[in-house]
């Protein structure tokens, strides 16, 4: 394998033979290919893309760079997993996991920390007092066997090539390329050992994929990779023009997930939880069709069983599930609507930037997080507000932080005369 020839071939729009691509990635993971050559290849891929077989070779090579886990074999059951391509206010795993477990399907998941402007599930879970995200694979499997659910941080030994390549993509403007995103996500899912996967592909100004067309391409690429690896994949295309649910910020999001598994929660978040859990159950070994799965999911939200599963899960990982114990911000400031009308936008990226500035996210990976702070979007797309009514709430460390967040948050909102309804689930790709 000659790295320069391989880069040149991709730069000129050619196809890289699978064996050579696998060798390049393996050598990069072993530090035998320098960052500058890997960066040049990434940029060539950004401009030229990868064919389906190149994308599969890249995925395979990344999976082979580290350990793999066969959860299904260890549990002796089909294991379902979910993954979101990253959104603002996306606390779906925290609610979907207990719902799926309550309905009788095992839910064992490895999650990540925040990427860019989107928060990570682990950061959110760590706002629960005592909650432990570091579980060994044995602990994860044991807990799923015992109580049906475990969510842990991804082991450093799983797909180390993606960890290295992702860090390089992050600093070379090569994150947002469909085949690279598809290979990055699917290598982790394949190495993690699930039998079936529901992918929540976010679309909109707060997502990696800004248009439905791009999101569909990403969904198809990931589904194809899953199929090649023997995994059933269903993709939901969901709106990410505005934050999901009302809350953006770690403890606030856990509270919202708690409210939802307890049978309440905002309508859009509940809709997504039901949609994702329904697809997961339909892919599980419970032999339910979609209709039966939806009925069981809805029942678990109404009869207290999803809440009981949540409480068992949080306790099993050392946490206290009582939402009254979640950290609270010192200052809560209401943001009144500046005019009467319909909310026509609460731009996700801008809301995320406000939450970030309040301290809810990280600029650099070593930055600390303030779990208590964030934003609550009381009014969302399509809602009617009267002038002076609460549009949003700012949860801040102090008055000065709340003050500077207020103007920025107001400019994330758009209020108009006409409603502009938009569905949350844009498509389901099977
Ligand atoms: N999430 C990932 O894990 N990888 C990407 O490339 C993008 C989002």
Nearest ligand 1 atom, CA 175: 6
CA of 203 to the centre of ligand 1 (A): 14
Q: Supply the residue whose CA is at minimum distance from atom 7 of ligand 1.
A: 181
Does any domain span residue 66? no
**Exposed (0-12), middle (13-18) or buried (19+): which is 230, by Cβ within 10 Å?**
exposed
For residue 115, the model assigns a pLDDT of: 59
For residue 208, how far is its CA from the centre of ligand 1 (angstroms)?
9
What was the pLDDT predicted at 114? 61
Q: What is the mean pLDDT of the chain?
A: 93
236 and 195 together in one domain:
yes
Q: What is the pLDDT of residues 265-275, one digit of tens each?
A: 999 999 999 99
Mutate to test the pocket of ligand 1, among 175, 214, 225, 240 (most ligand atoms within 8 A of CB): 175
Same domain, 246 and 338: no
pLDDT in the model for residue 156: 74
Which of 302, 323, 344 is the last residue before a domain boundary?
A: 323
Which atom of ligand 1 has the smallest separation from the CA of 180?
Answer: 6
State which ligand 1 atom lies nearest to the alpha carbon of 185.
Answer: 3
Note the pLDDT of residue 198.
97
Return the active site residues. Answer: 83, 162, 169, 184, 188
Structure tokens at 370: 């303030």
State if residue 184 touches ligand 1 by the CB under 6 angstroms criterion.
Answer: yes
Ligand 1 center–CA 410 separation, angstroms: 30
- Residue with the larger pLDDT of the pair 176 and 253: 253
Q: What is the CATH number of the domain that holds 383?
A: 3.90.1170.30
DSSP string, 250-261: HHHHHHHHHHHH
Residue located nearest, by CA, to atom 5 of ligand 1: 181
pLDDT at 311: 98
Instruction: For 149-174, write each residue's pLDDT tens digit.
Output: 999 987 777 899 998 998 899 889 89
Q: What is the pLDDT of residue 278?
A: 98
Is residue 181 in contact with ligand 1, taking CB distance under 6 Å? yes
Q: Are 260 and 141 part of one and the same domain?
A: yes
pTM for the model stands at: 0.91
- Residue minimizing CA distance to atom 6 of ligand 1: 181
Q: Is residue 424 part of a domain?
A: no
From 323, 357, 380, the end of a domain falls on 323
Report the pLDDT averaged over residues 95-123: 84
The Å distance, Cα 180 to ligand 1 centre, comes to: 8
Task: Name the nearest CA neighbour of 270 among 360, 189, 380.
Answer: 380
- Tell me the average pLDDT across 277-301: 97
The domain in which residue 23 lies consists of 3-49
**Ligand 1 centroid distance, CA of 15 (Å):** 23
- CATH number of the CATH domain containing 264: 3.40.1030.10
Q: Which residues pair with residue 374 across a beta bridge?
A: 395
Q: How many domains does the chain have?
A: 3
What is the pLDDT, as a whole number, of residue 15? 96
Are residue 168 and residue 142 in the same domain, yes or no? yes
Residue 225: pLDDT above 90? yes
Is 224 inside a domain boundary?
yes
Is ligand 1 within 6 A of the CB of residue 174? no
* Ligand 1 pocket check for 192: Cβ under 6 Å: no
Please report, for residues 27, 111, 152, 163, 278, the alpha-carbon distance to residue 121 in angstroms, rounded to integers and kept in the order given. Answer: 31, 6, 10, 17, 21
Decide if 304 is inside a domain: yes
Asked if residue 393 is part of any domain, the answer here is yes
Residues 6+ apart with CB under 8 A from 294: 274, 278
β-strands 390-396, 331-336 pairing:
antiparallel
Measured from the CB, is residue 62 less than 6 Å from ligand 1?
A: no
Judged by average pLDDT, the poorest of 84-93, 176-185, 359-368 is 359-368
Question: What is the per-residue pLDDT for 365?
Answer: 67
User: For residue 413, how far is its CA from the centre of ligand 1 (angstroms)?
Assistant: 28
What's the pLDDT score for residue 98?
98
Q: What's the pLDDT tens digit per position in 52-71?
A: 999 999 999 999 999 888 88
Which residue has the least CA distance to atom 2 on ligand 1?
185
Confidence of residue 430 (pLDDT cuts 50, 70, 90): confident
Which of the listed residues 82, 181, 214, 225 should we mutate to test ligand 1's pocket, taking the one with most ligand atoms within 8 A of CB?
A: 181
Q: What is the pLDDT of residue 302?
A: 97
Atom index in ligand 1 nearest the CA of residue 183 equals 6
The reply to whether 44 and 76 lie within a common domain is no
- pLDDT one-digit tens code per residue, 409-424: 999 999 999 988 889 9
Distance CA 148, CA 34 (A): 43
Query: pLDDT of 340-391, one tens digit each?
Result: 999 999 999 999 999 999 999 877 767 788 999 999 999 999 999 999 999 9
- Average pLDDT for residues 256-267, to the nearest whole number? 97
Q: Do residue 268 and residue 302 come from a single domain?
A: yes
Distance from residue 318's CA to the centre of ligand 1 (Å): 29
Centre of ligand 1 from the C-alpha of residue 181, in Å? 5
Q: In whole angstroms, give the CA distance from residue 361 to residue 247.
A: 14
Q: Verify that 214 and 275 share a domain, yes or no.
A: yes
119 pLDDT band, cuts 50/70/90, is: low
Q: How far, in Å, CA of 144 to CA of 125, rounded? A: 17
Shared domain for 122 and 213, answered yes or no, is: yes
- Ligand 1 pocket, mutate which of 45, 59, 63, 86 (most atoms under 8 A from CB): 86
Query: Residue 98: which of 276, 351, 324, 288 has the closest Cα?
Result: 276
- What was the pLDDT predicted at 147? 96
310 and 232 part of one domain: yes
Q: How far is CA 377 from the centre of its chain?
A: 19
Residue 194 pLDDT level (bands cut at 50, 70, 90): confident
Same domain, 269 and 354: no
User: Of 323, 353, 368, at which residue does a domain stop?
Assistant: 323
């Amino acid at each position: 394998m000659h790295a320069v020839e391989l880069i040149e071939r991709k730069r000129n729009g050619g196809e890289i033979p699978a064996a050579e691509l696998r060798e390049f990635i393996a050598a990069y993971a072993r530090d035998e290919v320098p960052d500058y050559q890997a960066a040049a290849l990434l940029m060539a891929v950004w401009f030229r893309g990868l064919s389906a077989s190149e994308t599969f070779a890249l995925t395979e090579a990344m999976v082979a760079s580290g350990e793999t886990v066969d959860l299904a074999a260890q549990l002796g059951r089909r294991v379902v997993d979910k993954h979101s391509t990253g959104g603002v206010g996306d606390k779906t795993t925290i609610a979907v996991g207990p719902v799926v477990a309550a309905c009788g399907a095992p839910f064992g998941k490895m999650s990540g920390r925040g990427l860019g402007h989107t928060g990570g599930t682990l950061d959110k879970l760590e706002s629960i007092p005592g909650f432990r995200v570091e579980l060994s694979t044995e602990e994860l499997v044991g807990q799923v066997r015992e109580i049906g659910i475990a969510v842990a941080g991804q082991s450093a030994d799983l797909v180390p090539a993606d960890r290295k390549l992702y860090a390089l993509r992050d600093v070379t403007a090569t994150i947002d390329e469909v085949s690279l995103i598809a290979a990055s996500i699917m290598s982790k899912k394949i190495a993690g050992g699930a039998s079936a996967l529901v992918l929540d592909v976010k679309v909109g100004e707060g997502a990696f994929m800004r248009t439905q067309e791009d999101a569909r391409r990403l969904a198809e690429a990931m589904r194809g990779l899953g199929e090649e690896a023997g995994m059933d994949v269903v993709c939901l295309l969901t709106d990410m023009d505005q934050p999901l649910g009302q809350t953006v910020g770690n403890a606030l999001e856990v509270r919202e997930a708690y409210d939802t598994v307890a049978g309440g929660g905002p309508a859009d978040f509940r809709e997504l939880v039901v949609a994702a859990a329904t697809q997961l159950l339909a892919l599980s070994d419970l032999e339910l069709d979609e209709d039966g799965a939806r009925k069981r999911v809805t029942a678990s939200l109404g009869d207290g069983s999803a809440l009981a599963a949540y409480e068992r899960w949080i306790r099993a990982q050392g946490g206290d599930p009582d939402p009254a114990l979640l950290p609270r911000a010192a200052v809560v400031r209401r943001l009144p609507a500046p005019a009467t009308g319909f909310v026509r936008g609460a731009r996700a990226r801008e809301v995320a930037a406000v939450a970030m500035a309040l301290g809810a996210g990280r600029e650099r990976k070593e930055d600390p997080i303030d779990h208590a702070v964030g934003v609550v979007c009381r009014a969302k797309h399509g809602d009617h507000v009267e002038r002076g009514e609460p549009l949003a709430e700012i949860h801040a460390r102090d008055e000065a932080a709340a003050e500077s967040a207020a103007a920025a948050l107001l400019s994330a909102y758009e209020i108009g005369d006409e409603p502009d309804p938009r569905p949350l689930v844009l498509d389901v790709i099977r």
